[in-house]
Structure 1
Amino acid sequence: MIETDSHGQPLEVDDLEGDWLLDFAHEAEAESRKAERRRMRVVLRWCETHVAVDDDHRLSWGEQERVWDCDAWIGGEGVPAVAEFAAEPLAAAMRMSPAATTALMADALELRHRLPQIHARVERLESTLWRARRVAKATQSLSPEAAAHVDATLAPVVDSVGATRIDRAVAEAVALFEPETLEEAEESQTKSWGVSLQHHRPDTSVSGQWGGTSWLSITGDTPTLQRLHDLILDTTQPATGPEAEPDLGLGVRQIRALAAVLDGLGVPRPRVRLNIDISAEDLTDHDSADTAGGVGTVQGLGPATLAKIRDWLAGAQVSVLPVLDMARTDSVDAHDPPRWMHELVTRRDTHCVFPFCDVPASRCDLDHIEPYVHPDDGGPPGQTHPGNLAPACRHHHRAKTIDAWSYERTEHGDYLWTSPTGQVYAVTRHGTLELRS
């Protein structure tokens, strides 16, 4: 493998070892920091050249609902306003999602305008940008005085700072400059208490697969959760003894203990709706060699073995719903599609069809690719049909309507998008491609 060193000379990496290899690693880190700094400079310049004309047209987190579901403007107090749809062209150029680009813009603005000492260290290549961004994310809700305190505290150590030290510095700044918010913080955290069940977390699952495992998250007061934790531990069977199953790990035994607690409390099994793409024969033909290792698909989650599905359905009440014909093309005259059409489009496309966006289709609007014209205004019949509908998240639905993005659906089911400045992108089932015109 041929690389180039800091003097522009060719270098055979496979021949390096010892101190030579460490020196080259040091050079590689320096080049990486330069690239990060260059990206930050580009982002800041983009923000400077895309200033919001007023607060009604200012970029907010509410426009990127996957980041924070609120209407707060990006950046902390005192950060310059950025135009509402500024993220999309930059995101496409950098091959990032608009949500990730918005977060990068907010962090870069926070560093320049509210964390100048940490920003200076990034500029001098004394800190990686990703470490500086950790601090910037944590300070955007603080007052300018509190943010300045965090800046002064963490700047000397920012290139080694971790989450614990950042949290400590932020808590100290709040106590010094915003003591009245401590009680409000306790109250607001109480409002966040609750239980959520998540079925698919590809960021932590093996190879991005669902694997028949779900995640239960509980947020509440510490004593109550400690009691539940201790109850599960007290019920967990030991790994040794006459009834022990030594091959089971601690985690599996703890989940079985939780099931035993629920059974002991008489908690009934809940009604669960899973849309599973398999045939009735797959479930009933236990002895068939063809189905012994078969796989079904749980809509919105992923593949599951037939053995796992049979286990779930044992003793359950099962409803068989009509089969959805994915080849249907018939139309309706109304603006809103019927339920079958809505399900067909969201299952067909699975996510927002805007370039680099992956908001799930279940959270998207169904957009008329050719804008719908009401019959009273001369609109033709049959405008609403699967070929003229596509899922678009609310932000990118508005980008098409307001910011002059346009697109069309090809006969192969891909989407060709044209930006306001003329760049063309092809969104396929495998990802987004930039087409050179």
Structure 2
Amino acid sequence: MISDLSDATPEQLLHAAEERVRMARQVEIDKLELLLAWADLHSGDPQTEPDAVPVRYGGPRLITLGGDGTPEVADLALVEMAIARHEHVLSTRGALADAFDLRHRLPAVWAGVREGRCEVWVVRRVARMSRTLDRHQIHIVDTAVAAALDQAPSRILAIAEAKVIEADPVAHQGRIEKNQNQKGVWYPKPRPGSQVDESDSADNADNTAGVGTVFARLDEADALAHQHTVDDLAAALAEHAEVPEGAEPLGMDHWRAEAFAMLADPAAVLAFLNGINDTSEVEEVAQQPSRDPRNPTAELIVHISLTDTGALGPLARVEGLGPRLLTQVSDLLGRHATIRVQPVIDLHTGRSVNGYEHPTDIKQRTQLRTVGDVFPHATSLFTSNGRPPDHDHTVAYDKHGPPGQTGDHNDTPLTRHHHRAKTHLGYTVMQLGPDRWIWGTPHGLYRLVTGGGTRPITRAEYQVHAHQAVTLAGDLAA
């Protein structure tokens, strides 16, 4: 414990902050373990006690809170524990249900979170997401999520979602069919006072002066097609807009709103598109191909896997959308009259070139392999709708150096903010392979970043890993 924070060194503050994270996670674990111990003390049937009040007269009874395979607990016994926890008994029931699921249905996840590898709220949510699965189906969720506990919360939950769907695709098909009957478009009326609301919310989104709001629930394929139509029309509007001299051009959010509004008048859309002079754009298109707003296109990058028998599994991961049943992927593709299948990208292969710029195919392979920013504990995902990452050479490019310096083995994809921090603040990074990096911070924190997430390592471990770092050699040249 640091007695006076104002006298602490940067290293002391960083290590103290890291220790508080460990302590806070342990407190949350302790709270669940206390709940479990209390439940174990009250797992016997209260109706077997002498002079027990019958259930029909309001007496205590055993109830099941967790999923299939979890024990029962006496219902009225939880009231006193709720008082001790300073909360309503329903909150205590919810926490115990999660704890039961973790201990009895997700034992590998429970073991990992007890080691401090993940925030407790994340695995509690995984427990709730998977509660409808039976004790056999949930095994694949437990295995996959336990292996991913070092990743960011959003990635853990995405993996859990995929495995819940994979474990019971029939139930998920039922969810899809139910949602098909709950589609709609809503145009909410502004609430009184909202036109003069000057609250400090982000972008003043609560103020409705001069603007309206639209909400829609559509078939996913329709929503995706609508998005691409709006994007293409917005790009055309922005390209042909007249910007007053000295004025900043409007952002794409504005032009997407204009395109969305324009769709209310199809004749105006056709008139605008027909008024575009294609011949004057031939040279520009030749230099930088762009989508034609009159022929919207969509690119789908689909990750598939094979079962033990060599057949396609029931699930695929679509870049930018997440896990989808193969039938959903078929529906998405079915909306296009012309489908062009690109060659399969084998992420087990690598390539290097004799130049400074990373070629497009190397960038694509790196982004598909890493999924997101490889800075320690980063959460940004690389999707077609986000800003492309900076592909930084892990080992700085040397124009007088050996051939083959640019490739999968020497590529650290980073968001711009993290790239700036690495460049200007003295971070060190070494690459151990196409999807493994070790980082050192300016004040002595060390991290191993892999496809499985970020793991703290000691200085000694960092030095051991450093010997495994990839050395650029002439035989890596293309």
User: Shorter-chain-normalised TM-score: which range?
Assistant: 0.3 to 0.5
Which structure has the higher relative contact order (CA within 8 Å, separation 6+)? Answer: 2
TM-score (norm 1): 0.44
